[in-house]
């Protein structure tokens, strides 16, 4: 019987999973497969599993519930093992690596930070600080510019945007790095210029959050900071 | 073993399922992978990855920026923009060198108050409970992005006024 695998924990984890549903339209109960000091949380896999919000939510909820009582290694969504025995085998095969990882993650949570900048604010800043850009822009508005002026202005602005946002992103990351056990940068999407995950120990959580809040506050209304956490440590598993 | 608080009273900005979109990439792209296991088909979900921001050196991008500059009403700028980078530079650099411990510990003093003010993501931020993530991803993204700046700004303002007044 194929099994869907959610997480790996130490065997002595309290594993309070009451009331939680597994994945699938008619979810099977959550249960465990144990090998040595480790334990995997699984459920019998549904006939067909498509990545619906409900299932992704179920996967995430299992992690969050487990996290509140102890270290958890969250699996990436969507992984199915042929049977219990193969799960047991996987736990035995990498027992030391998983145990080390769990110990490292114990008492830590992931915080995921994204940020975007209001385009208008950014453009005003660039125009105010770059004479070349300002002159091009003025000339285009006056109608006195060359035909290729818009392209040149656009290229100049694009380069400025890129440079400034890279600088901002790395400043934010470096400001928060001292309060994190680990940092995992990501690829910003959409309008974002910053996408980064931090692994934060419980003892540093308060100062980490205060620093992030202070940073966001100082950077002001032209910026939109979105901090998610505490999260199961997907990025550090 | 230290327990990390999960629910309401803790310092969580958002940990509930209402904000699944922002953490979707973590659940789908990160996390432990056990090679011998088989992954379910994610046809449709791949759409999320295409959203990657690319600062493309392209005609389209350049012209769009030029057009945006053209449209700016420079007389009615909302505020002096020049100080932003300086602010970040000063505060971040001195923080990194450990000089302005005052700034950080001052922030830490205000932590309890501000952290209590940081609720979990507002309930009105929850997208409808649709089943199919992939079909509605485009809509969700647009809705969230449109809403978020206004809401986040007001939160910042509330926080700021609490600290300042």
SS (H, E, C) B42-85: CCCHHHHHHHECCCCCCHHHHHHHHHHHHHCCHHHCCCCCCHHH
Q: Which positions ≥6 away from B26 have C-beta within 8 Å?
A: A110, A112, A197, A231, A234, A235
Rg (CA), chain B: 21
Q: How far apart are CA A8 and CA A99, in angstroms?
A: 9
Output the pLDDT for position A221.
87
Q: Give which of B51, B68, B69 to mutate to test A binding, by max A Cβ within 10 Å.
A: B69
**Lowest-pLDDT range of A81-90, A100-109, B40-49:** B40-49
Q: Pick from A78, A86, A225: which is nearest to B36 by CB?
A: A86
Q: Pick from B31, B37, B53: which is nearest to A80 by CB?
A: B37
Q: CA angle, corner A81, sides to A75 and A86, nearest 5?
A: 105
Q: Pick from B37, B103, B145: which is nearest to A191 by CB?
A: B145
Q: How far apart are CA B64 and CA A208, in angstroms?
A: 37
List, for residues B28-43, the tens digit of each pLDDT value. 999 999 988 999 887 7
B-proximal residues of A, 9-48, CB under 8 Å: none
Q: Give which of A106, A127, A174, A210 to mutate to test B binding, by max B Cβ within 10 Å.
A: A210
B-proximal residues of A, 45-74, CB under 8 Å: 49-54, 56-57, 59-61, 64, 67-71, 73-74
List, for residues B54-90, the tens digit of each pLDDT value. 556 688 889 999 999 999 877 665 554 444 444 444 4
Output the pLDDT for position B138.
42
Q: Which positions ≥6 away from A101 have C-beta within 8 Å?
A: A73, A237, B32
pLDDT band at A139 (very low <50, low <70, confident <90, very high): very high
List, for residues A145-193, the tens digit of each pLDDT value. 899 999 999 999 999 999 999 999 999 999 999 999 999 999 888 789 9
Q: Do B51 and A189 touch (CB under 8 A)?
A: yes
Answer positive or negative: Cα dihedral of B2, B104, A231, A111: negative
Q: How far apart are CA A39 and CA A87, in angstroms?
A: 9
- What percentage of chain A reaches a pLDDT higher than 90? 88
Output the pLDDT for position A10.
98
Q: Which strands form A182-185's sheet, in the order they lie side by side?
A: A182-185, A192-201, A108-117, A223-231
Q: What is the mean pLDDT of residues A48-56?
A: 82
Within 8 A of A69 by CB-CB distance, chain B residues are 3
Q: CA angle, corner B145, sides to B141 and B149, nearest 5?
A: 165
Q: Do B87 and A64 touch (CB under 8 A)?
A: no
pTM of model > 0.80: no
């Amino acid at each position: 019987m194929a099994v869907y695998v959610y997480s790996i924990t130490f065997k002595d984890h309290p594993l309070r999973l009451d009331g939680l549903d597994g994945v699938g339209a008619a979810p099977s109960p959550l249960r465990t497969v144990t090998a040595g000091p480790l334990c995997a949380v699984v459920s019998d896999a549904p006939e067909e599993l498509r990545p619906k919000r409900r299932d992704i939510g179920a996967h995430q909820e299992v992690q969050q519930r487990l996290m509140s009582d102890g270290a958890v290694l969250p699996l990436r969504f969507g992984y199915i093992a042929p049977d219990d025995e193969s799960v047991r085998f996987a736990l035995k095969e990498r027992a030391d690596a998983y145990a080390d990882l769990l110990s490292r993650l114990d008492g830590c949570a992931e915080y995921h930070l994204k940020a975007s900048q209001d385009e208008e604010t950014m453009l005003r800043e660039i125009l105010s600080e770059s004479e070349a850009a300002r002159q091009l822009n003025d000339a285009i508005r006056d109608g006195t510019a060359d035909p290729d002026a818009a392209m040149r202005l656009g290229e100049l602005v694009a380069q400025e945007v890129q440079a400034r946002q890279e600088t901002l992103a790395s400043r934010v990351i470096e400001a928060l790095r001292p309060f994190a056990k680990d940092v995992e940068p990501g690829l910003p999407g959409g309008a974002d210029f910053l996408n980064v995950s931090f692994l934060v120990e419980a003892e540093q959580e308060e100062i980490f959050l205060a620093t992030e809040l202070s940073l966001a506050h100082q950077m002001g209304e032209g910026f939109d900071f979105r901090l998610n956490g505490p999260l199961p440590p997907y990025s550090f598993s | 073993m230290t327990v990390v608080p999960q629910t309401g009273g803790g310092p969580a900005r958002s940990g509930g399922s209402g904000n699944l979109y922002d953490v979707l990439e973590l659940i789908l792209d990160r996390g432990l992978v056990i090679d011998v296991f088989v992954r379910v088909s994610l046809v449709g979900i791949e759409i999320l990855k295409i959203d990657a921001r690319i600062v493309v050196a392209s005609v389209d991008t350049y012209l769009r920026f030029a057009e945006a500059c053209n449209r700016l009403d420079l007389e009615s700028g909302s505020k002096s923009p020049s100080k932003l980078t300086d602010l970040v530079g000063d505060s971040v650099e001195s923080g990194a060198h450990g000089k302005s411990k005052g700034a950080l510990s001052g922030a830490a003093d205000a932590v309890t108050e501000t952290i209590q003010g940081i609720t979990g993501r507002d309930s009105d931020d929850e997208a409808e409970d649709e089943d199919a993530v992939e079909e509605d991803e485009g809509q969700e993204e647009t809705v969230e992005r449109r809403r978020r700046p206004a809401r986040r700004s007001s939160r910042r303002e509330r926080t700021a006024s609490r600290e300042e007044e």
